Structure 1
Amino acid sequence: MGQVSVTLNGRTYRLECSEGEESHLIALAEYLGTHVDTMRRKFGQVGDDRLILMASLVVADELWDLRRQVQELKTALAEARRDKSAADESARTAQADLAARVRAAADRLELINERFTHGGPTGGAANRR
């Protein structure tokens, strides 16, 4: 079990954490400490508990806003995926339609070619003399 000491508003707190998490916990405490310092400059020395509470609420507000943004991004991503699926289906349909039209045109060209090559229904070259 790891241990760290962090200082907020001039008071040192000893905390336990999982092994290897010490630097992360220190970074979190430093981040909270910047907000505590901001609150102290803004409101004066109103007590450790109140400063830490106000700073914690600011951090919680940041978290809340980020969670909202993540949810909006997830919603936008889901909509983009639905739009892509619809576009893919539309492209497949258009491609199948185009392939059918190309096949039909090729069939007509083959018929025309047969008529000119083999005399076809119009009697070919022998009937034109």
Structure 2
Amino acid sequence: MAQITVMIDGKAYRMACEEGQEDHLTELAARFDRYVGHLKSQFGEIGDLRLTVMAGIMVTDELSEVNRRLKALEADVAALRQTRDSFAAEQERSEATIAAALGEVAADLNGITAKLNGRTVARH
């Protein structure tokens, strides 16, 4: 396990993480520090624990909103897939109908051609 030191509200915290995840953990800590800094600028010195709890609630609220939006997008994607599948099935039916109609036209043309060829041969 890798060890890194992150800074939150001017205090150093030593943390362990998976190898290769150091930059990611550093970025997460920096983002959390911005929440703490924002709250500190709004409310002043209200205590480390309270600041941390409030910042945690803000992060959780943001995550909740992202999850809500993700569920809505997943529902939209499901609806689009269903619509796509319905259109694809309809197109297959249309293509089958067109193919059948073309088959009938081809058979009619073959019949007409055969009749015309029979008449042409009879005339010579």
TM-score bracket, shorter-length normalisation: 0.7 to 0.9
RMSD of the alignment, in Å?
Answer: 1.9
Structure number with bigger Rg: 1
Runs of 4+ in 1 over 4 A off after TM superposition: none
Counterpart in 2 of 1:95? 95
Q: SS in structure 2 opposite 1:45? A: coil
Counterpart in 2 of 1:56? 56
Structure 2: how far apart are the matches of 1:113 and 1:104? 14
CA positional deviation for 1:30:
0.5
Q: SS in structure 2 opposite 1:4? A: strand
Paired AA for residue 35 in structure 2: H
CA positional deviation for 1:10:
2.5
Which residues of 2 match residues 55-94 of structure 1 at below 5 A? 55-94=55-94
1:87-123 Cα offsets, whole Å, 9 max, x none, are 111111100100111111111122222222214xxxx
- Which ranges of structure 2 fall in alignment gaps of 5 or more residues? none
1:11-55 Cα offsets, whole Å, 9 max, x none, are 222222223322221111100000100000111110111111111
Structure 2: how far apart are the matches of 1:2 and 1:118? 91
Which residues of 2 match residues 21-60 of structure 1 at below 5 A? 21-60=21-60
Deviates more, 1:29-38 or 1:53-62: 53-62
Paired AA for residue 37 in structure 1: G
Counterpart in 1 of 2:13? 13
- Which ranges of structure 1 fall in alignment gaps of 5 or more residues? none
Structure 1: how far apart are the matches of 2:104 and 2:95? 14
TM-score (norm 2): 0.86
How many residue pairs align between the two structures?
A: 122
Structure 1: how far apart are the matches of 2:73 and 2:26? 30
Deviates more, 1:74-83 or 1:23-32: 74-83
Q: SS in structure 2 opposite 1:31? A: helix
What percentage of aligned pairs have identical amino acids? 30
Structure 2: how far apart are the matches of 1:113 and 1:35? 83
TM-score (norm 1): 0.83
